[in-house]
Amino acid sequence: MTTTPRPEPTPETHSGEYSHAQILTILSGLMLGMFLGALDQTIVSTSIRTIADDLEGLSIQAWVTTAYLITATITTPIYGKLGDLYGRKKLFMFAITVFIAGSALCSFATSMPQLAAFRAFQGLGAGGLFTLVLAIIGDIVSPRERAKYTGYFMAVFGTSSVLGPLVGGFFAGRSDLLGLTGWRWVFLVNVPIGIAALVVVFRTLHVHTTPARDVRIDWYGAAALVTMLVPVLTVAEQGREWGWTDPRSLVCYVIGAIGFAAFVIAERAMGDAALIPPKLFRIRAAVVTVAASVVVGVAMFGGIMLLPLYMQIVHGASPTESGLLMLPMVAGMMIASIGSGRVISRTGQVRTFPIVGSVLITVSLVLLSFTSADTALVWVSLAMLLLGLGLGQCMQPLLLTMQSAVPPSDIGVATSSATFFRQIGGTVGVAVFLSVLFGTVGGNISTAFAEESQTPAFQAAAAAAEPGSLDARVVAGDPEVVQSVQDDSSIIEELDPVLAHPFKAGFAESMDRVFLLAAGAGLIAFLILLLMPTVELRATSASAAARATAPAAEHD
């Protein structure tokens, strides 16, 4: 909790309003930085099965995802607060630099635990990419006008969603590329893109900030946040192996509770200088947005994380094919985001969209919970389109509500808080859902084998299995095969299709349970969003509004 003097503002003044041409120039740098993070997500999500199979750790792949999300989540409010205090350009460039370094390290991982550690480092940079972009947009564009520029950002997500699976599939499908295993380029490709982003951001990101005179850094709050989140997320991942009442789990619960209490005390002591100022929770719209963001994050990350696995394991799609099969959801998100943004720009009304969106999320996840190993992909695609339409109506409207409900000087904290709590929900959701998936899949596979072993097709395939082959071991009920499939699912593709079907059916059954749990989260989000008050969106940017009370400006 130190006090650091701020530099005196320069004589230059700025109204805080930007022309369309100025905004487009600034957006060019922001979109490249956002593209870096978005491309990484789509490349990794469609390649993780290949990576995990190669490193023989599919069942612990949650560590790779969770480690990244933990550090990205923890640093999100820190970036938001520091951006409010010191300006966002240098902080944005720092985040990109850390992300590049982490990507390079990931490309040389030799085990799943090592990859998880490097992904954690990469997440330290990722925490600032989206948060700072959204905060800068809040600085320079009013909530009512922001819909004009929604198409640009959705184009970034759409492009990354198309390129990610193609690039990730290409790399994951190559056994060797320039002397390295193909999947290692999934991470290494971030390096040249990141360097290009640094150059563009340095040359184009010129924004004006109104600095605060008295700066206090909430180091105690940050330390308490780490103490709270790490053990809770660890037990969420490891609970299925340890046991939820195991002494190790109980220790994590206690440490997490102590961290939570310390965080609350630290935030109250810091007041307005806190990472997440307590005053935010005196604003009803902010409280509802935070609560809804947590639950929407659970449903969103849970659904998005499972769908590529469903496509690859159950339907035998390649990483490239599974990514392309996700396009209906991407299309739904783009349609809903752009459509809702234009309506909001004309009417200023935002409350209805997240409510309708949460209903669509719930319905789509319920539909996905009825999928099986034999469900036609056309029906899965329709459910994914519906899921995208729901998510697209929740993400931007909730953020707009949060940014308009707080004073302009807190735009960074508000943005990072909404993002932070959505990531908290997503991180917990991924850890718990993967625990449920791999905790139940063994039993479901055994049940599917018991049922299908009585069919004539299975018995014919069993009779044709060569002694000592993988097929013969499956017919003999070798328990090591079931366990090995959870670490290396590519084994399924080596089996006779009839003998492989029970494995796919078992995975599909476990995924159905997770989809249903995610649907429950969507329903809770709907009930919470019914409490949302009507919020009037500001017609001026946060930067211009701040200068109405603090005319002196500093050029960042």
Residue 231 DSSP SS3: helix
User: How far apart are alpha carbons 192 and 102 in whole angstroms?
Assistant: 13
Burial of residue 13, with CB atoms counted within 10 A of its CB: 0-12 exposed, 13-18 middle, 19 or more buried: middle
Q: 3 forms bridges with which residues in the sheet?
A: 216
What's the distance, Cα to Cα, between the start and end of the chain in Å?
A: 25
Nearest 5°: phi and psi at 318? -75, 165
Q: What is the pLDDT of residue 554?
A: 45
Contacts for 180 with CB less than 8 Å, ≥ 6 apart: 107, 188
Per-residue pLDDT of the chain (556 residues; tens, 9 = 90+): 444 444 444 434 444 566 777 777 778 778 888 888 777 777 776 677 778 777 766 666 667 877 887 788 778 888 877 877 777 888 888 999 999 999 999 888 888 888 888 998 998 998 888 778 877 877 777 766 766 666 677 667 667 766 776 777 777 767 777 777 778 888 888 888 888 888 888 887 776 655 554 556 778 888 888 888 788 777 766 666 677 788 888 998 999 999 999 988 988 888 877 778 888 888 888 889 888 988 888 888 777 777 878 888 888 887 667 777 888 888 888 888 888 877 887 777 788 899 999 999 999 999 999 988 888 889 999 999 999 899 888 877 887 788 777 777 677 777 777 877 887 787 778 777 877 887 788 788 888 888 887 888 888 887 877 777 777 777 776 677 666 776 666 677 777 788 888 888 888 888 888 999 999 999 999 999 999 888 776 666 555 555 555 544 444 5
Query: Nearest-CA neighbor of 61 among 102, 108, 111, 103?
Result: 111
User: How far apart are alpha carbons 535 and 401 in whole angstroms?
Assistant: 7
Q: What is the pLDDT of residue 169?
A: 72
Q: What is the pLDDT of residue 102?
A: 92
Q: What is the pLDDT of residue 400?
A: 79
User: How far apart are alpha carbons 415 and 411 in whole angstroms?
Assistant: 6
Q: What is the pLDDT of residue 361?
A: 93
Residues in the chain, how many? Answer: 556
Alpha-carbon distance values, 185 to 105, 169, 409 (Å): 11, 11, 41
Pair 297, 37: CB distance under 8 Å: no
pTM over 0.85: no
User: How far apart are alpha carbons 448 and 507 in whole angstroms?
Assistant: 10
